Structure 1
Amino acid sequence: MKKYLGFGLLLLAVACQKPAGKSTAAKNKFSDQNLRTIYTLQDERNASGLLTNFGSTIINHRKEAALALASVQDKATVPALSTLLSDPEPPVRKAAAYALGQIADSTAESHLVNAIDQESDSFLRAEMFEALGKCATRNGIAILAYFDTPDTVTQGGQAWGLYRAMLRKPLPEPALTKVARLITREHPYQVRLAAAHTLARSGKADLRRYFSLLQEAARNDKSAYVRAAATTALGKAKMPESAEVLTFLAVSDPDYRVRLSAVRALKDQEYALTKPALLKALSDVHPHVSLTAAEILAGKNQETDDTFWQAALMQPDWRTRAVLLGACLQASKEPEPVRQHITSLYLKTNNVYEKGALLTALSNNPASYEFLKTETFSAKDPVISTYGIEALAGLRKQPDFPESLNTDFNQLLKNAIASSDVALMGTAATLLREPEMNFRQTFTDVTFLKLALARLTLPRDVEPYLELQKTIAFLLEKPAPEPPKTQAKQAIDWKLVQRLSPDQKVLLKTSKGDITLQLYVEEAPGSVANFVQLLEKDFYNGKFFHRVVPNFVAQGGDPRGDGWGGTDYTIRSDFADLHYLEGTVGMASAGKDTESCQWFITHSYVPHLDGRYSIFARVISGFEAVHKLQIGDKIEKVELVKR
């Protein structure tokens, strides 16, 4: 009997199996035609079409239409969105608050304040407070500063509201004082985190009066994210006591991001107090810390050439070594041997990114001019030519740039503008707007710029187009023009989206290890569809991480490898209610609705990017590899993970 029972169970198991080769992915929400329509309207920036869903009896349709307007950002929709703040369903009220914050129009302020007064749900009040910060006038900021509640969830929204308000304009002293008090350990994590980030990005505010609170958080908060932000804020309290704490953190905190933040904060402290810590940081186990220390030491320019030379010889990281050699070249009274050494390293290495860093180092001495010019305009790899034109621009800004080279350099700029290379065009155009260069007197005829502008193709060449457009206006002393409104050529591929599971995984194989991503299929279908289309064409395989900013982002996906490349189309921005945490993956852009193929992974919390760059995925494993990524590391393969 057992024999037959076992055989019967086996037959049942076989019968229940999915046919071979068929996807077993769970359906995502876009099996609903109405939701596909709503997201298509969002992608088309059709605000009036979205507003018709506000009268729907289906809760999810009202909610999704409101969220869609967060990406459209049409100020004319503020009155209609404000009515949803009193919708009977919490998800709809939350979506409306987020969308109003994204639109950031001051006319929404009174509606949000009234909704906060009426709202009993702590989480919704928190969302409304954060939205209020994005559109607050002085009155709204005062409400954020003086509102008092024992509810910790609401406190979190209030704290983030003050952060959002600070991003728009400096906070008055009462508001800063409120924020500083929120950083203490008795407050919940989200409150402390928001307070620390607010103070870290408080511009030129004098934070000396908050020294005790800041140093306590920087030293002892259990969260590295809070410690890092508090450490940055501590750098704004310019006093010997701050320098003492920062030098300690720069060499002792267990998290490299806190050490790095401390090193950066030392930049504005008295050099005599910070020199030992900066020199010690050059040998930090994490190359991002040593690089940051090298950049600050180079910027200070108070060390002897021998100090930089010896540090460079001992430096295993090529990027840090190049910075130190550049500083040595600038400080040396006999620069020629140093310049020849840098040139020798340049000729020996096969790493185009190291070559680029060495070209940057050479820009510290005018004798490098002819070599830089030759390498820039003869390079076969766009990475080298891009670093080259940037090095030439840096050289031109040097106070000791020979006046005898001005005429030749002006022709060089014209040659760069006339080239077909988008990076040469864009970088040269940007330099022409430098006020201290007085190029208005030199380039009174902008015909060459207009001809270059006419040769560009939109939307592919949007970045150099914007630079040329702004430069023409600058030289003619006219107001900056509105960015061109180009139609995105890439519509959302709904068939592709529908075959993805809601938690679709992607395996990103890099030269530093594997990283697994989870796509936000239901939150950012346009960005996800574009990314998947490209990876299924093997577009990303063999590309490089061309930009790595320590404790910020690692960016890749550029077909040129220098940050100026893209596809022949653009896609629309997806501004879902998501936040930039550690390991968040976002689309790089030159502004709203200009995304193409480049993307980045964050190293830590970077809340100032929220709602400005489309989030389409998050890292779920491989964080160690993320933090090891350096410029020039390879994207070996990107593939969907089969279920």
Structure 2
Amino acid sequence: MRGNTLSYGTRYLGRIQGIALLVGGAMLVGGCARLRPTADGELLGDDAVVAHARLLQMADTRAMDTLLVRQALAASTPSVRAAAALAIGQVSGRTLNHLARSLLADGDSAVAANAAYSLGLLRDTASVPALTGALGGRQSVAVEAAWALGQIGAPSRAAIEDALSKAALPEPVLASLLLATAKLRPVPVAQLIPFLRHSNAEIRWSAAYPVSRTLAPAGVRAMLDAARDESAPVRALAARALGRSATGDSLAAEALGALDTLARDSSAHVRINAVRSLASYGSAATTAVVALTADRDANVRIATAQILGTVLPPQRSVWISAWNADTAFMYRRSLLVSAVRAGAMLPALSPASADGWASHADWRYRAAAAEAGGSARSSSALLENALPHVGDADGRVRLAAYTAFATYADSSRFAWRNQILVPALNDPDFYVRATVLQALGSRASAAETPGILASYQRALADSLNDARIAAVRYLAAAWKRDSTNFPDSVRAMVQALKPSDDPLVRAEALESSIFSSWIAAPPGRRRLDWYQRKVRSVLLPALAGRPLSATIQTERGAMTVELFSIDAPLTVDNFASLARAGYYRNVQFHRVVPNFVAQDGDPRGDGNGGPGYAIRDELNRRRYGRGAVGMALSGPDTGGSQYFITHSPQPHLDGGYTVFGRILDGFEVLDALVQGDRILQVRIR
């Protein structure tokens, strides 16, 4: 999840950055010269260091080496065997599915659990019987087998439902099975409802999660009961589930009453979910929603401002009252967008106002004014609010303006191609160009390709690869849509482009036959000794019981983070290296979505910056519970410097984003963070 592409509940948490990944996989070497004791008393010699390094190298390059995996699984070192079992899933080693199935019975629970997790990553339908059998075995393996069955989805339905009918399951396995039903369509609501009365709050939450994501009337009634649960996380799920689209006419009045109560809940997370659902009831919820503009919690007020346009009329006076309720920037920024969407005009958007944001000295205010233009009901309002900012001196403000034009849901967008969007192909800001290229690509044509090629050439000097990837996507789309009109000279220009050394740009190009000449270009390579150094500096200390940890010192206090050096060693090393270099010092939390995530790591401050490279995903068995620390992405293998911390459990992110840490202390700081708050420093220990 990088930048603004990670939105509440669904999309990726990030953007694309450049990448430097690399290669290898070969024979394990022998010779145990030095032995290092691990926390379990395991002796880790040089041969095991090399084995771990080769497995890391293989996973980093996504180049499956079946001989290497088999040799690693035959090793005497437990941590090497466990890493090999995990690598099968990380590298999408479908040729080794049968081997992963056999590992479910391995005597080492870590190996067997990693094998089950890998089969879930691979979504191997042939593994359903083996995974079902594993549900009755060792608890750690059964938990992963249940998760894997959920990932496989429909072919696992009978196995999941049958297992849930058995009463003797350990509670962690039961919780994992309940969450697995969220992947089924339809969700077996009737079978889940009894678990909403379980004595264990975690079991109730695990049942409420899939039930809350369905529109089944029985599920909505169950969520009305869950709104009175003693557990705040369960009540938060109920609050989210009671939107107008779920309740229908028959349950709307009862649900509205429940939400009115939940909007006054002692938990801010519950109140945040409640106000979002209240918004779906329109004017019937006005009183309850407006009251939350004065909530004691800043993120509740921000969440309220974001949806206020759904319950308030466009009359200026009511919006002025809401504006005056809070002077904080993020509240007013959210309110500004809501007001424009509702057709109301606030003084902040008036050029004649002394408090006008359009000419504010702080770029964030000008960008917010431009952003608000993108919510306008009419193209004339969009032009009035966003057009003045396309010439702003700050690229982040120009980006907000061009984004408003690029995303405006009106056919008039295409009338702006030549006048507004096309000139931006030469903008100095790489992400302005990337955004415009993406917008133009929806109607890509052969006639525009010379200008796109020129923009690609300019992008070769960018530190990040967004504009290069966007240009390649445009050219591929133009070829697919308009190949008959491609002059031979233009096609020759495209095919004469030097193949990119960036694996992400290459991967995008190779989706289209217009880039067929790029196939022979090899990716870059990293030497094995690079990976060996990472094993010694990150993995070995963790295996010996001395994992790295971090303290994130913010304006609002400190958070202590346990780093998962065994589960995600390269990701932890990347984060630690950036922190030690001072990369995160004075960087803002550029994105805080209340009761979802707080995201940081972009020195630009608008969600579109990074270190100039990307790292591979290291998907692992860690889950996105409350306080999980994960890598922000825009797609597979696009992590860099941006990371996010979850306010509440987010099971839908499991297996999609690298979890590399968790908050141990400082949850009150996490909950208090507001978008724009700064990190003072990150210390690694």
TM-score of the superposed pair, with normalisation by structure 2: 0.78
Q: Distance in 2 between matches of 1:336 and 1:508?
A: 38
1:423 and 1:536, CA in 2 relative to 1: closer, same or farther beyond 3 A?
same
Mapped contact 2:205–2:233 kept (Cα < 8 A): yes
1:569 equivalent in structure 2 = 613
Q: Distance in 2 between matches of 1:355 and 1:27?
A: 55
Q: Distance in 2 between matches of 1:484 and 1:54?
A: 36
1:418 and 1:106, CA in 2 relative to 1: closer, same or farther beyond 3 A?
farther
Mapped contact 1:122–1:151 kept (Cα < 8 A): no
1:332 and 1:121, CA in 2 relative to 1: closer, same or farther beyond 3 A?
closer
Q: Distance in 2 between matches of 1:354 and 1:337?
A: 9
Matched, 1:227 2:246: no
2:669 equivalent in structure 1 = 625
Percent identity reads 24
Aligned residue among 412, 420, 425 for 2:433? 425
Mapped contact 2:283–2:311 kept (Cα < 8 A): no
Matched, 1:340 2:381: no
Q: Distance in 1 between matches of 2:525 and 2:671?
A: 34
2:131 equivalent in structure 1 = 112
2:500 equivalent in structure 1 = none
TM-score of the superposed pair, with normalisation by structure 1: 0.82
1:608 equivalent in structure 2 = 652
Matched, 1:386 2:399: yes
Mapped contact 1:418–1:452 kept (Cα < 8 A): yes
Tell me by how many angstroms 1:282 deviates: 1.7
What whole-Å deviation, never above 9, does each CA across 1:475-526 have from its counterpart, x for those lacking one? 5555999636865879544253256773322222212222222211222110
Mapped contact 2:473–2:508 kept (Cα < 8 A): no
Mapped contact 2:370–2:385 kept (Cα < 8 A): no
1:264 and 1:488, CA in 2 relative to 1: closer, same or farther beyond 3 A?
farther
2:208 equivalent in structure 1 = 196
Which residue identity is paired with 1:146?
D
What whole-Å deviation, never above 9, does each CA across 1:391-417 have from its counterpart, x for those lacking one? 3335x4368xxx6x9645543211223
SS at match of 1:636: strand
2:596 equivalent in structure 1 = 552
Mapped contact 2:86–2:115 kept (Cα < 8 A): yes
Mapped contact 1:130–1:161 kept (Cα < 8 A): yes
Matched, 1:496 2:537: yes
Matched, 1:82 2:126: no
SS at match of 1:593: coil
Tell me by how many angstroms 1:76 deviates: 2.0
1:452 equivalent in structure 2 = 455
Tell me by how many angstroms 1:563 deviates: 1.6
Mapped contact 2:372–2:385 kept (Cα < 8 A): no
Mapped contact 1:66–1:99 kept (Cα < 8 A): yes
1:52 equivalent in structure 2 = 71
Which residue identity is paired with 1:461?
L
1:296 equivalent in structure 2 = 307
Mapped contact 2:209–2:237 kept (Cα < 8 A): yes
Q: Distance in 2 between matches of 1:329 and 1:309?
A: 13
Mapped contact 1:513–1:622 kept (Cα < 8 A): yes
Q: Distance in 1 between matches of 2:276 and 2:331?
A: 15
Mapped contact 1:515–1:622 kept (Cα < 8 A): yes
Tell me by how many angstroms 1:280 deviates: 1.3
Count of aligned positions: 593
1:208 equivalent in structure 2 = 217
Q: After superposition, where does 1:509-588 map in structure 2 within 5 Å?
A: 509-588=553-632
Matched, 1:136 2:145: no
1:444 and 1:108, CA in 2 relative to 1: closer, same or farther beyond 3 A?
farther
1:481 and 1:221, CA in 2 relative to 1: closer, same or farther beyond 3 A?
farther
RCO (CA 8 Å, sep 6+): is it higher in 1 or 2? 2
Q: Distance in 1 between matches of 2:670 and 2:98?
A: 43
1:237 equivalent in structure 2 = 247
Q: Distance in 1 between matches of 2:565 and 2:346?
A: 55
Mapped contact 1:181–1:213 kept (Cα < 8 A): no
1:18 equivalent in structure 2 = none
Mapped contact 1:581–1:606 kept (Cα < 8 A): yes
1:636 and 1:67, CA in 2 relative to 1: closer, same or farther beyond 3 A?
same
Q: Distance in 1 between matches of 2:627 and 2:193?
A: 28
Mapped contact 1:179–1:199 kept (Cα < 8 A): yes
SS at match of 1:53: helix
Matched, 1:160 2:176: yes
Q: Distance in 1 between matches of 2:632 and 2:337?
A: 29
Tell me by how many angstroms 1:419 deviates: 2.4
SS at match of 2:550: strand
Tell me by how many angstroms 1:569 deviates: 2.1
Which residue identity is paired with 2:321?
Q
1:569 and 1:57, CA in 2 relative to 1: closer, same or farther beyond 3 A?
same
SS at match of 2:420: helix
Mapped contact 2:364–2:397 kept (Cα < 8 A): yes
Q: Distance in 1 between matches of 2:437 and 2:464?
A: 14
Structure 2 runs not aligned, ≥5 long: 1-35, 483-504, 511-522
